[in-house]
Amino acid sequence: MSGYAEVFRRGRGRHRRRRRIPLKTVAVLSALVTCSAFAVTRMEDDPLDCAPGRGADGRPARLPVECRGANAALRAGAPAGKAPGRAGGEGGDGVPHDGDGGRPGRAPAQPEAEGGYDRERCGNTSGRLLLSLDDWAYSDPERSVRIGAQLQAQGVRAAFFLIGKFAAQYPNITATLRQQGHWVGNHSFTHKQLTALDDQELHDEIRSGVGGNLLRPPYGDAGERERDVAADLGYRICNWTIDTHDWEKGDGPGGLRSAEAVRASVRDASQEEKHNGVILGHLFSNFPAALNDIIADLHAQGYQLCRNTGPVTENVPHPLPC
């Protein structure tokens, strides 16, 4: 208990400090705005221009110099990571049932100065909602692609943030999900809390994870150092606005929150959380069983989900083509 409280307290304290935008950041942003109108326009016109590639060894390649400025804009003034939910635990089946929970340390707000990128919304400016499914379906890995097929059949594109060490054992799952039209992102290699790692471990956890350009840090916990290392490796941080708390204990199957409770978390979320929103759920929980009802509820409330327009590559454009 005290461990969780300590992590939470530290997270919030760190969060508050990071909320202050340093003068240097303001200066950098001013310079970008006043001197780089051309560059900004170019980014908007061609969001893939600075997409990171892969080196000969299959690792993320260093970006061209002109793209470093774009990523610097992403770094500058980034909103802080939210308080971590809790340190990962072990379920009765010996696999981590940790979730990425934890309410945002602040109410999801307007996009902040991060080169126009709002990490809590994963850069979603479409008005639609993005479903995201994290971690791994431990007892039934193929569950992921069945969920993917179900969503594809409904014309919905989701984002899957897979734990790298499992995804590496089942490369067909990542490939199939992308073929189904879903984005697959990096969720670290072993689901460690990135802010607790030393520099080398942090680098390795990201670099060894799923390739691409979206990183969802475990527990959503990332500060300036984590954001900068991720950016150097070609990733931008993608968190969420609606946490379904599906990873918490409850009276549903598996001793977790029931599908009905998970459904209600989304249904009852605020308009601000839903517009351009990102929904956090997990592959091992009762979230997948709630998906049909979640989608139906959102439609009934007048919301749409990101549209599935067919197969995708590992790099996800910004703004999100929802």
Q: Give contact residues for Zn ion (rule: CB under 5 A).
A: 100, 134-135, 218
Taking the complex as a whole, the smallest distance from the CB of residue 26 to Zn ion amounts, in Å, to 33
Q: Which is nearer to Zn ion, 100 or 205 (CB)?
A: 100
Taking the complex as a whole, the smallest distance from the CB of residue 187 to Zn ion amounts, in Å, to 6
Q: Which is nearer to Zn ion, 135 or 246 (CB)?
A: 135
> How many Å apart are CA 41 and CA 62, to the nearest integer?
23
Taking the complex as a whole, the smallest distance from the CB of residue 195 to Zn ion amounts, in Å, to 14
Closest CA to 76 of 18, 35, 125: 18
> How many Å apart are CA 181 and CA 147, to the nearest integer?
12
Taking the complex as a whole, the smallest distance from the CB of residue 271 to Zn ion amounts, in Å, to 27
**Do 134 and 280 touch, CB atoms closer than 8 A?**
yes
**Do 186 and 216 touch, CB atoms closer than 8 A?**
yes
Taking the complex as a whole, the smallest distance from the CB of residue 80 to Zn ion amounts, in Å, to 19
Q: Which is nearer to Zn ion, 100 or 314 (CB)?
A: 100
Q: Which is nearer to Zn ion, 126 or 285 (CB)?
A: 285
**How far is C-alpha 98 from the geometric centre of its chain's CA atoms?**
15
> How many Å apart are CA 190 and CA 205, to the nearest integer?
7
Closest CA to 101 of 205, 249, 225: 249
Q: 279: which strand partners?
A: 131, 242
Q: Which is nearer to Zn ion, 100 or 243 (CB)?
A: 100
What backbone torsions phi and psi does residue 292 show, to the nearest 5 degrees? -60, -40
Q: Which is nearer to Zn ion, 36 or 208 (CB)?
A: 208
> Which DSSP state fits 190?
S
User: With b meaning 16 or more CB within 10 Å and e meaning fewer, what string describes 118-152?
Assistant: bbbbbbbbbebbbbbbbbbbbeebebbbebbeebb
Taking the complex as a whole, the smallest distance from the CB of residue 18 to Zn ion amounts, in Å, to 21
Taking the complex as a whole, the smallest distance from the CB of residue 161 to Zn ion amounts, in Å, to 7
Is residue 92 packed enough to be buried (19+ CB in 10 Å), middle (13-18) or exposed (0-12)? exposed
Q: Which is nearer to Zn ion, 86 or 128 (CB)?
A: 86
